[in-house]
Amino acid sequence: MCNITMSKESKTYKNSPEKIYIRTFGCQMNDRDSEALAGLFLDKGYILTENLEEAEIILVNTCSVREHAENRALSFVGTLKKLKKEDKIIALIGCMAKNRGKELFEKFSYLDLVVSPSSFDKIPSYIERIKKEKIRIIDLEDREREEYFYKSSFRFNTSFAYVVISVGCSNFCSYCVVPFTRGILRPRNYCDIIEEVKRNVDLGIKKITLLGQNVNDYQCKVGDKKINFVDLLRMIDKIDGIEEINFLTSHPKNTTKDLLFLMASSEKIKKHLHLPFQSGSNKILKLMGRGYTKEEYLNLVEDYKKIVKGTLSTDVIVGFPYEQEKDFLETKDVLEKVRFRYAYIFKYSPRPHTKAFLWQDTVSEEEKKRRHMILLKLQKKISLCGEGF
C-alpha cells in the first residue's frame, strides 16, 4: 500500500540543511534502523538534533511487539500535535506504522508520513517529495530494502555496533506480529555483512552485535556457496580488529551443537546466549507454535552449560490464552531449574494480525498481574543473589 494525499494547505519549507529529530521505541533492531536512517539524512546534509522543538523533521520509530510499546509511542505522537507548524514534517515509521498505519494516518491529520520498516530506505526521498509537492504519504508495502540503507559510517555509539544479518521472520509464532510488520525472513548477503563489520573496524569499533529475529535461521546462497549462521560467525571471528561478537536472538528449536562448540572455542564470541523459552508448559508451547517442548529446551540448556559454560538470559510470557495454573507452575519451574542471569518477563497482550488474536483472552488482567509479579520476584531473587547462570 503506497498512497499519496494532497494536503489542504500549502506549506513553505526552508532550504537544507534542516534539523532532524529521531525518537526510537522498541528493540535493538529499531535502534539500528534509526541509526541507519540518521546516517542517510546526515549524508544528504541534514543536521541531527536532540532538541525536539528546534527540529524541522521529526521521525518516530515505533514498536508493535506488545501493547505497552504501542501505547508509549502513541502517547508521544499525541504530544507532537502542539509542535506542528508549517515548517515541520512529522513521520510515524516502523512496526506500528505497518500494523496500524492506515488507521493512524487517518486519525492523526498532522502526520505527514507513515512508513513501514520495509521502506525505510525510501524515507529521505519521501521527505523531499513532501517538502516540494506539499503532500502526505503513506507507504505500507512489503519489499526488500536496498543495501545502501546500511552503508553510512554514522554511529550513535562508537564503542559497539549493531549489524543486521536478516530482517523479518518466517516462524509465525501464534502471538508474534513480526512476520506481519517486518515480513518473512530476508537474509542479507554475507558479503555485505562482512563488509559492514570491516567498516566498523575501520571506525575503531571493536565490539559488534549481530541482529536478527532468529539468527539461527540465517541462510545465504551465492552461486553454489551456501552460508548458514555458524559459517557467518566463523568468518566474522577471523576478522582482525574485532574483539567481541554478540548475537540476538537465538530460537531454541534450531540452536545447534555446532553453534555451541563454536561459542566455546572462540576467544571473540561472548559466552552469553539469549534463549527465549516463553513458557514451560508443553500445551502452551504447542499453542504458541514454538516447535519444541519443555524437555527439549532443558536438554539444550544442559548442553550449553556443559559445552559453553557461559551465561543465559531469556524471555517469558505469562497469561497466554488457555494458560491454567498448572501451566504457569511449569513456567515457574523452568526459571527455578535454569537460574537465568536475567529474564524479560511479560504479560501477554493480544496482537492484531496474529493467530492468537482470534482466540479468547482467557486469563484475566488481575491474574496476569499476579503471575507476572510472582516470576518477577523469583527472577529478582536469582539475579540479586548471584545465582543466575
**CATH 3.40.50.12160 intervals, the chain:** 2-139
Percent of all residues in the chain with a pLDDT value above 70, rounded to a whole number? 95
Average pLDDT, the chain: 93
Give 333-354 pLDDT, tens digit per residue: 999 999 999 999 999 999 999 9
CA atoms within 13 A on the CB side of 83: 19
Residue whose C-alpha is closest to residue 388's, from 274, 311, 315: 311
- In tens, the pLDDT along 93-146 reads 999 999 999 999 999 999 999 999 999 999 999 999 999 999 999 999 998 999
C-alpha cell at 341: 542471569
Which CATH number applies to 157-270?
3.30.750.210
- Residue written as grid cell 507476572: 372
Percentage of the chain beyond pLDDT 90 is 89
pLDDT at site 17: 80
Helix or strand or coil: residue 73?
A: helix
Cut 0.95: pTM above it:
no
3.30.1360.200, 3.40.50.300, 3.90.1150.10, 3.40.50.12160: which CATH number matches 2-139? 3.40.50.12160
Instruction: Tell the CATH topology of 271-389.
Output: Transcription Regulator spoIIAA (3.30.750)
Strands (E) across the chain are located at 2-6, 19-24, 47-48, 57-62, 89-94, 113-115, 135-139, 161-164, 166-167, 186-187, 207-211, 219-222, 225-228, 244-248, 272-274, 311-318, 342-347
Q: What is the DSSP letter of 17?
A: P
Helix or strand holding residue 78 (H, E): helix 67-79
pLDDT of residue 234: 98
Beta-carbon contacts of 85 under 8 Å, excluding residues fewer than 6 positions away, are: none
Three cell numbers at 130? 513532501
How far apart, in whole angstroms, are the C-alpha atoms of residue 63 and residue 349? Answer: 14
Q: Give the confidence band of 388 by pLDDT, cuts at 50, 70, 90.
A: low
From-to residues of CATH 3.30.750.210 in the chain: 157-270
Start-end ranges of CATH 3.30.750.200 in the chain? 271-389
- Cβ–Cβ under 8 Å, residues 289 and 175: no
